[in-house]
Amino acid sequence: MTGLVIVGHGTRSAAGVDQFAALVERVRRRGEIGDVEGGFIELSRPPLTDAVGTLVGRGHRNLVALPLVLTGAGHGKGDIPAAMAREQQRHPGLTYRYGRPLGPHPLLHTALEERIDAALAGTTSADADRAGTWVALIGRGSTDPDANAEVAKVARLLWEGRGYAGVEPGFISLAEPSVPAVLERLRRLGARRIVVAPYFLFAGVLPDRIVAQSAEFAAAHPNLDVRVADVIGDCDALADLVRERYDEALGGDIRMNCDTCAYRVLMPGFADKVGRPQQPHDHPDDPVGHHHHHHHGHGAIAVATGS
């Protein structure tokens, strides 16, 4: 079978690295995909180059590269394809099919629903809890308007049919509204119980910041019941979605959303991104000669080619 390399961004959180490794092992243990490795493009070990090198060393020349990202922002559109292009230079003859970002997807929405329900545990009946509960869905935030719009879409999909009083999107970095701004909006809308739901796969610095900012807001408003749900984390639903994206990359008709991609379409305030060349991150454990971790421009060429 075609080997799978699961590509993570990387985090300085040891817990986040462990959760990523646990997911890779969960996918591997199922035995549904013949050969599975995982690696990061920056910050964490193992680096992507080790994961690809391991698969190539076992005889693979065709891979599926799956970006373990929730939205199609710069990491998925530029950084990861650029890193894979570098691997193709290192391993002549290597080809790969590029998977879609994970979200939005019903499996993720159900996982979020379960995390919210767990945060509500210990109160009254589930239906009554939801009817009186507002949800602040907090994404990472991006300089890519398309990615931020996807978080707003997930917030709406999470609200539809589940009986919450309302779901409002927000961001922990790079975009507005901020966590305090969303919580203040919900307070003004009359919320008395709010569950802050991080739209994150694994633990990390930014989810920790969501917890801290939520606690600070709650301390300043003692009449509010503010709770923070867990991240999605290593779970069967996420492994199911990885398998679905793998199968789709091999045999499906992958159609990326290019209608509102800032790297292809002129959008107000983002004209400088159109056609910008892509560059990979330099990983501290990848011997590329020099190490720097600022974000480069994210181009769109690799989105179309992907292999």
Q: What are phi and psi of 98, to 5 degrees?
A: -100, 125
CB 183 within 8 A of CB 214: yes
Amino acid at 32: E
pLDDT: which is higher, 48 or 266: 48
**Spatial separation of the C-alpha atoms in residues 255 and 44, rounded to whole Å:** 30
Residue 305 pLDDT greater than 90, yes or no: no
Residue 290 pLDDT greater than 60, yes or no: no
Q: Considering the chain, what is the average pLDDT of its residues?
A: 89
Calculate mean pLDDT across residues 260-280.
76
Q: 306 pLDDT band (50/70/90 cuts)?
A: very low
Largest CA distance in the chain: 63
pLDDT digits over 202-236, tens only? 999 999 999 999 999 999 999 999 999 999 999 99
Residue carrying structure tokens 């373990």 = 68
Residue 126 pLDDT greater than 60, yes or no: no
Residue 304 pLDDT greater than 70, yes or no: no
Tell me the torsion sign for CA atoms 123, 129, 190, 137.
positive
Calculate mean pLDDT across residues 123-142.
85
pLDDT digits over 52-76, tens only? 999 999 999 999 999 999 998 888 9
Residue 307 pLDDT greater than 50, yes or no: no
pLDDT digits over 141-174, tens only? 999 999 999 999 999 999 999 999 999 999 999 9
- Per-residue pLDDT, 298: 38
Give me the residues paired with residue 151 across strands: none
Which contacts of 253-261 are long-range, i.e. CB under 8 A and separated by 24 or more positions? 254/98, 254/99, 254/100, 254/306, 256/72, 256/100, 256/303, 256/304, 257/72, 257/146, 258/300, 258/303, 260/145, 260/146, 260/149, 261/72, 261/77, 261/146, 261/300, 261/303
- Per-residue pLDDT, 294: 42
- Per-residue pLDDT, 258: 67
pLDDT digits over 71-125, tens only? 988 889 989 999 999 999 999 999 999 999 999 999 999 999 999 999 998 765 5
- Total Cβ atoms within 10 A of residue 259: 8
Residue 247 pLDDT greater than 60, yes or no: yes
Q: Counting beta carbons within 10 angstroms of the beta carbon of residue 35, is it exposed (0 to 12), middle (13 to 18) or buried (19 or more)?
A: middle
**Spatial separation of the C-alpha atoms in residues 52 and 40, rounded to whole Å:** 11
pLDDT: which is higher, 163 or 302: 163
Residue 136 pLDDT greater than 60, yes or no: yes
- Per-residue pLDDT, 127: 61
Q: What percent of the chain has pLDDT over 90?
A: 77
**Spatial separation of the C-alpha atoms in residues 207 and 205, rounded to whole Å:** 6
Helix ranges restricted to H, the chain: 14-30, 48-57, 74, 80-90, 106-120, 126-131, 145-159, 179-188, 205-220, 236-251, 301-305
Give me the residues paired with residue 193 across strands: 133, 225
Which pTM does this prediction carry?
0.84
| C-alpha torsion 238→243→245→250, nearest 10 | 170
Calculate mean pLDDT across residues 125-134.
80
**Spatial separation of the C-alpha atoms in residues 288 and 244, rounded to whole Å:** 33
Q: 40 pLDDT band (50/70/90 cuts)?
A: very high
pLDDT digits over 165-180, tens only? 999 999 999 999 999 9
